[in-house]
Amino acid sequence: MQIKKLLPLAAAAALVPAVGFAQDAAVDMTPPNEEIGYIFTTFMFLVTGFLVMWMGAGFSMLEAGLVRSKNVTMQLLKNIALFSIAALMYYLVGYNLMYPGDGWTITNVLGAFSATTLEPVGVAGADTDLTYASVGSDFFFQLMFCATTASIVSGTLAERIKLWPFLIFTVVLTGLIYPIQASWKWGGGFLDANFGFLDFAGSTVVHSVGGWAALAGALVLGPRIGKYTKDGRVNAFPGSNLTLATLGTFILWLGWFGFNGGSQLYMDTAGNVADISRIFANTNTGAAGGAIAALIATQLLYKKVDLTMVLNGALAGLVSVTAEPLTPSLGAATLIGAVGGVLVVFVVPMLDKLKIDDVVGAIPVHLFAGIWGTIAVVLTNPDATLGGQLISIVIVGAFVFTVSLVIWLALKAFMGIRVSEEDEVMGLDRSELGMEAYPEFTNS
Amino acid sequence: MQIKKLLPLAAAAALVPAVGFAQDAAVDMTPPNEEIGYIFTTFMFLVTGFLVMWMGAGFSMLEAGLVRSKNVTMQLLKNIALFSIAALMYYLVGYNLMYPGDGWTITNVLGAFSATTLEPVGVAGADTDLTYASVGSDFFFQLMFCATTASIVSGTLAERIKLWPFLIFTVVLTGLIYPIQASWKWGGGFLDANFGFLDFAGSTVVHSVGGWAALAGALVLGPRIGKYTKDGRVNAFPGSNLTLATLGTFILWLGWFGFNGGSQLYMDTAGNVADISRIFANTNTGAAGGAIAALIATQLLYKKVDLTMVLNGALAGLVSVTAEPLTPSLGAATLIGAVGGVLVVFVVPMLDKLKIDDVVGAIPVHLFAGIWGTIAVVLTNPDATLGGQLISIVIVGAFVFTVSLVIWLALKAFMGIRVSEEDEVMGLDRSELGMEAYPEFTNS
Amino acid sequence: MQIKKLLPLAAAAALVPAVGFAQDAAVDMTPPNEEIGYIFTTFMFLVTGFLVMWMGAGFSMLEAGLVRSKNVTMQLLKNIALFSIAALMYYLVGYNLMYPGDGWTITNVLGAFSATTLEPVGVAGADTDLTYASVGSDFFFQLMFCATTASIVSGTLAERIKLWPFLIFTVVLTGLIYPIQASWKWGGGFLDANFGFLDFAGSTVVHSVGGWAALAGALVLGPRIGKYTKDGRVNAFPGSNLTLATLGTFILWLGWFGFNGGSQLYMDTAGNVADISRIFANTNTGAAGGAIAALIATQLLYKKVDLTMVLNGALAGLVSVTAEPLTPSLGAATLIGAVGGVLVVFVVPMLDKLKIDDVVGAIPVHLFAGIWGTIAVVLTNPDATLGGQLISIVIVGAFVFTVSLVIWLALKAFMGIRVSEEDEVMGLDRSELGMEAYPEFTNS
């Protein structure tokens, strides 16, 4: 193939005389039959699902790069452990709780508790309880969203939380908190049925949920020693490895194509795959808008560009277009992302003023940009209402923040969630794990 | 698309009245014709193949992270070189040796020697010697399994083996040892035809083979200087970069979806793509089971969680479900993986007692978990027999170990395989390559 | 599925009696209808597009690994910024400029200026201005090629160029230079229409373009302080992190399957997907050939293998097969790649003799191997003429080099492009950004 593209107008003129494909005997735009559509959609879930799985590596690298070297091993351990816990809890409880079908125990609010089974297989070898894709592929794809939510929390609470309380919180978050609130929208619950809430890929359902859980944890846990001085200064604790943080950002950017693209949920027609394409393009430009906005904003505000702000700006851009990656034009997606990027630049110092110590900036990126993105749906999607979006943001936020707060407080009361002062100064790697991430390099 | 999933029971009820898809006039579950199936399966090979290719990067990062900084450059070099050698040898000899078709020179034991050609092209542009997928895609996919086998060896023998003898061994492994034994199962040879051996994606055919070759090398090579003291103590040589090791593990985890999923070999029907979906889900949960098992086991045994054990636990979980990723339920796959994770925790110190110095833990992960996974097939797949699995494990092991041992001994005799004591203490990077991986950082 | 492959000859004999698939009633090799083909091709663009996007991470890691630690943050920042700028400029100007369709303002030389829109949607939900794939997927895929071109430049000019002039150049490169010259071939312009120029995936159109722009910049910018001494010695400035450089190479290798494979542009028939498979296999073997050739060449020339040469050898192998990844046999692709790998080993010292300071070796890899690969098309593709290839190389080179030179000189005159001597010695991270990549590790 040598010319990369037909001259589009000429080609369209030749092939689509007046009224479009379907009228043209030479071009057969009949949608595929259900079996072919089933294969397309299922394979799409697997491909986009592995991209979202890859985001687990992205969060690990981002967080390991933004903490100090004395806490890197612990941060890595938490990330691989939370990903594994999400896999188990979503299988044991979460998936069926999130998609109750006819199995609501409280109608449209709480589903039933049961473990996932991927059998049995029906006619033509297909699963019987979904007609457009295999249950296994849907489970695989949805699981990765649950894991993403947990990944968001670990960054905020880094460098001072004990391992086991964090893992216990992860069990509750991935087994109960995430699936219950997700059922309200994606399982056909009351936010979807009664409030007309629109959240395409989860600015609220995934990202703000992680953000609220992290915020509750940060308030209970308190800031790191030395972060905020008595005379009101904020000490910067620079990340130990910015190449890792950048790698993590690129991984997340890549994974987000799966996150948003796969949320189309169907790839069985030309229309659906064209929609997925628009989503890919908008997701990319949203990230670019966020990165460039943060680049310019930090140059203007601080006279120096700040790489970590640019990285978080890209991520905030991604979160911002996640609630509606399909209806915006490329230009609108860029601007929606750019607002997210600017938000980060202003919210990071604001949190510091409130002495809320968010080690990697997950709250600005996932909570604030998540709220912004959810509201921004009304700008391009006429089906969304400002009221429906706002009430849903509030309901989800109140639920997740309250339940998380209770759990963090309970964990604090029963087992303690914070390492000792001595251990925190020494670093969690040596004190909790007896293992350093870079044993030959650190100057300390 | 706003609701992420139809309410499954309701939807199924509406669309599948009583007897399933095929009976329902509205739902056309006719499998695609052969050409469409060919496109599906071929593209599936390409996608899963590039995921397995990516495992080459995973092994590189894992190994570079687990060796000491003075040997990192060498470890990276070996990994990129072995991947390149595998590409050449599998093309020149391996592929046709592994799939003899009618070209066995010794029936069902040894195939014919010839280079791979991807031409000619038949009717409709398709290759003529496969009917369900393009030969190029099959070659690409299978090549990556050959490369994986070689990657396993390099980790065990790190920090003391010379470059060129290692590369020569790689030539033999990828050109002869791997393809010959793989032909016995996947080429339709005697293990497949006469012993009913089942190994879906290669717990034995790939992973244990790498493990046996590594074990033979470790015995001939001996442990690193200072690893085992005369008074019986074992010195820990901590890995120099645990972020890399974690990144490597995530890469391998991701790549494994391709490794196991692509081994379904067909994606031309709803049934096949549903099977691939189950394989993805089981592969993920097997890894999670292995990681959590190692997490809990190290906490219980050592009162401290060990990150490298958790990483190797995840990998052992992956190896364990590789022989049969399709038939287990999610719960069974989790448990099979968990046993693999526990195995690692016990085998690592056992090897140290035997003074077998396996730098990255490849023998527990790939050999022991590979054997376990091959045996575990009988737990969920009624077509497998314990006898058939065991005899095949033994035959493959005896062949690979013996041939590898002979080659390592020959290399030792003719050119020496171990660097001098002085060079080993200085590190291979400076002594063999004159180049450091982190020239500005090391404190030494 | 247990046997990995049907015995091919036997199977082919059984199913394809004499004249091939189409004659066999049992095998229906009818190409899919246009809608199914549209879905296949569109999804192929998305998958190969995200692989090419991933190359942005590859360049970042490669370059961050090959610069000294004092300039790493800046290198990361430039890479994420240029990727974002490419996204914006290609949307605002580039895409429509590159594919003018009927909208040439100077026939076959200059297209029209307008922003990309992905709407409107036609019959059956498909875009109306392409008939074989969605415009969104094509835009997404092509954008990534534009970004790749910009990535090439940043490596050469590292460690001494100011941030903002570099970004301004990136704006011009991605918005104007790249799309204008790309339209000459891939938009159906005069190189394609009048000179019969063949460049399948862009050895010239992408890689040499990046190389020429980098060369012009290197000449205007001058070498780094201390690189070349007055008495003619060349000081080596070793890369600070070879694991990152290796990771970057693996990422690029992976991404290249998308780069070359997606350039087939169609996946709607068995023939097209079989072609993509051949391209994947050839791309892999080209890289392997380049790596092994550089391995052997450095061993022979310097008696020690040089890892960075091997990495650049693999990349040069990839660039070399990019102009024609389809027609070569596996053996020919290996040899074409190997020549690229050897080229690198000889061109790197040659540039040093000319005192052209190319920090990461981008000029040998992308410019020299790009020219070689473009010429090598005539070896395997009978449609190519040596004259057509050479004149196209010269025209593209003259255009890009001249325009780039003028812009670099203008930037130098108006705002200065090089940091002060003091800042360069201190490192761009501290002087320009006030931020270190590894604040806890560097010994300096």
The predicted-structure confidence for B235-256, as pLDDT tens digits, reads as follows 999 999 999 999 999 999 999 9
DSSP B62-105: HHHHHS-GGGHHHHHHHHHHHHHHHHHHIIIIIHHHH--TT--S
CA A219 – CA A157 distance, rounded (Å) = 10
What are the tokens at A382? 């006429």
Structure confidence at residue A113 as a pLDDT band (50, 70, 90): confident
What is the interface pTM, i.e. ipTM, of the complex? 0.94
Contacts of A47 in chain B (CB under 8 A): 47
| pLDDT of res. C26 | 64
The mean predicted confidence, pLDDT, of chain A is 90
DSSP C361-372: -HIIIIIIHHHH
| pLDDT of res. B46 | 98
Structure confidence at residue B129 as a pLDDT band (50, 70, 90): low
Q: Note whether A278 and A326 are within 8 A (CB).
A: yes
| Residue numbers of chain C with a pLDDT score lower than 50 | 1-2, 5-25, 120-128, 444
**CA-nearest residue of chain C to A308?**
C77
Structure confidence at residue B1 as a pLDDT band (50, 70, 90): very low
Which of the pair, B380 or A16, is modelled with greater confidence?
Answer: B380
DSSP A8-42: HHHHHHHH--SS-GGG-TT---PPPPHHHHHHHHH
DSSP code of residue C108: T
Among C240, C270, C310, the residue with its CB nearest the CB of B126 is C270
Single-letter residue type at C209 = V
Considering chain C, what percentage of its residues have pLDDT values greater than 70? 91
- Determine the 3-state secondary structure of B127 from DSSP: strand
Q: What average pLDDT score do residues A184-194 get?
A: 93
What are the tokens at C24? 């066999």
What are the tokens at C278? 């051949």
Contacts of A274 in chain C (CB under 8 A): 42, 121, 125-127, 134-137
Q: A284 and C53: CB-CB below 8 Å?
A: yes
- Among the residues of C368-420, which ranges form H helices? 369-380, 386-414
Q: Note whether A286 and A320 are within 8 A (CB).
A: yes
- Determine the 3-state secondary structure of C336 from DSSP: helix
Q: B276 and A432: CB-CB below 8 Å?
A: no
| pLDDT of res. C3 | 53
Contacts of A127 in chain B (CB under 8 A): 274
Has residue A108 got a pLDDT over 80? yes
Q: What average pLDDT score do residues B273-302 get?
A: 97
DSSP code of residue C106: B
Q: Does A16 touch chain C (CB under 8 A)?
A: yes
Q: Note whether B341 and B297 are within 8 A (CB).
A: yes
* B-contacting chains (≥3 CB pairs under 8 Å): A, C
Q: Does A311 touch chain C (CB under 8 A)?
A: yes
What are the tokens at C309? 């040469």
The count of CB pairs under 8 A between chains A and B is 283
- Determine the 3-state secondary structure of C234 from DSSP: strand
| pLDDT of res. B18 | 34
Domain boundaries, chain C: 34-429
CA triple C366-C368-C369, angle to 5 deg: 65
| pLDDT of res. B443 | 54
| pLDDT of res. B279 | 97
Structure confidence at residue B19 as a pLDDT band (50, 70, 90): very low
| pLDDT of res. A442 | 65
Has residue A26 got a pLDDT over 70? no
| pLDDT of res. C441 | 80
Contacts of A44 (CB under 8 A, 6+ apart): A262, A267, A276, C43
Has residue B305 got a pLDDT over 70? yes
Q: Does A72 touch chain B (CB under 8 A)?
A: yes
DSSP B201-215: S-IIIIIIHHHHHHH
CA A316 – CA B150 distance, rounded (Å) = 41
- Residue B22, CA distances (Å) to A37, A128, B16, B26, B31 in order: 15, 12, 9, 9, 11
- Determine the 3-state secondary structure of B418 from DSSP: strand
Residue in C225, C207, C216, C214 with CA at minimum distance from that of residue C371: C207
The count of CB pairs under 8 A between chains B and C is 282
Q: C101 and A7: CB-CB below 8 Å?
A: yes
Q: What average pLDDT score do residues A288-293 get?
A: 98
Q: What average pLDDT score do residues A174-199 get?
A: 95
Nearest-CA distance from C340 to chain B in Å?
Answer: 15
Single-letter residue type at B179 = P
CA A404 – CA C304 distance, rounded (Å) = 58
Locus of tokens 């130990």:
A240
| pLDDT of res. C9 | 37
Contacts of B122 in chain C (CB under 8 A): 16, 20-21
Q: Does B118 touch chain C (CB under 8 A)?
A: yes
Q: C291 and B80: CB-CB below 8 Å?
A: yes
Has residue B56 got a pLDDT over 80? yes
Q: What average pLDDT score do residues B18-28 get?
A: 49
What are the tokens at C332? 């020919």
| pLDDT of res. B11 | 38
Has residue B414 got a pLDDT over 50? yes
Q: A273 and C103: CB-CB below 8 Å?
A: no
Q: Note whether A335 and A289 are within 8 A (CB).
A: yes
Report the range of poorest mean pLDDT among A299-313, B20-34, B42-56.
B20-34
CB atoms closer than 10 angstroms to residue C121:
17
DSSP C243-312: HHHHHHHHHHHHHHHHHHHHTT---SSHHHHHHHHHHHHHHHHHHHHHHHHHHHHHHHHHSS--HHHHHH
Q: Note whether B28 and A28 are within 8 A (CB).
A: no
Residue in B95, B31, B255 with CA at minimum distance from that of residue A33: B31
Q: Note whether A433 and B305 are within 8 A (CB).
A: yes
Q: Note whether C283 and C48 are within 8 A (CB).
A: no
Single-letter residue type at A77 = L
Report the range of poorest mean pLDDT among A294-308, B122-136, B156-170.
B122-136
| pLDDT of res. B26 | 64
Structure confidence at residue A20 as a pLDDT band (50, 70, 90): very low
Among B123, B135, B186, the residue with its CB nearest the CB of C22 is B123
| pLDDT of res. A111 | 86
- Encode A343-367: b = buried (16+ Cβ within 10 Å), e = exposed: bbbebbeebbeeebbbbbbbbbbbb
| pLDDT of res. C129 | 60
Q: Does C41 touch chain A (CB under 8 A)?
A: no
| pLDDT of res. C33 | 85
- Residue C90, CA distances (Å) to A296, B387, C37, C121, C181 in order: 19, 62, 27, 21, 14
Contacts of C441 in chain B (CB under 8 A): 440-441
Has residue A13 got a pLDDT over 60? no
Per CATH, which fold does C34-429 belong to?
Ammonium transporter fold (1.10.3430)
| pLDDT of res. A103 | 83
| pLDDT of res. A203 | 96
A362-371 pLDDT, tens digit each: 999 999 999 9
CA A88 – CA A83 distance, rounded (Å) = 9
Residue in B339, B360, B338 with CA at minimum distance from that of residue B348: B360
Q: Note whether C8 and B129 are within 8 A (CB).
A: yes
Q: Which residues pair with C110 in a beta bridge?
A: C106
CA B147 – CA A369 distance, rounded (Å) = 43
**What is the distance, to the nearest Å, from the Cα of residue B428 to the centroid of all Cα atoms in its chain?**
26
Nearest-CA distance from A124 to chain B in Å?
Answer: 6
Contacts of C274 (CB under 8 A, 6+ apart): B42, B121, B125, B126, B127, B134, B135, B136, B137
| pLDDT of res. B63 | 97
**CA-nearest residue of chain C to B190?**
C3
CB atoms closer than 10 angstroms to residue C415:
11
Has residue A272 got a pLDDT over 50? yes
Report the range of poorest mean pLDDT among A64-68, A76-80, B228-232, C88-92.
B228-232
Has residue A21 got a pLDDT over 70? no
**The CATH number of the domain covering residues in B34-108+126-417:** 1.10.3430.10
CA C273 – CA C269 distance, rounded (Å) = 6
Considering chain A, what percentage of its residues have pLDDT values greater than 70? 91
Among B271, B307, B329, the residue with its CB nearest the CB of A121 is B271
DSSP code of residue B430: I
Q: Note whether A251 and A55 are within 8 A (CB).
A: yes
Residue in C113, C118, C123 with CA at minimum distance from that of residue C35: C123
Structure confidence at residue B8 as a pLDDT band (50, 70, 90): very low
CA triple C22-C28-C31, angle to 5 deg: 85
The highest-level CATH class for domain A35-111+133-264+282-433 is mainly alpha
Has residue B223 got a pLDDT over 50? yes
| pLDDT of res. A129 | 60
Q: Does B129 touch chain C (CB under 8 A)?
A: yes
CA B79 – CA B55 distance, rounded (Å) = 11
- Determine the 3-state secondary structure of C161 from DSSP: strand
CA C335 – CA C4 distance, rounded (Å) = 30
Nearest-CA distance from C397 to chain B in Å?
Answer: 32
CB atoms closer than 10 angstroms to residue B399:
16
Q: A261 and C123: CB-CB below 8 Å?
A: no
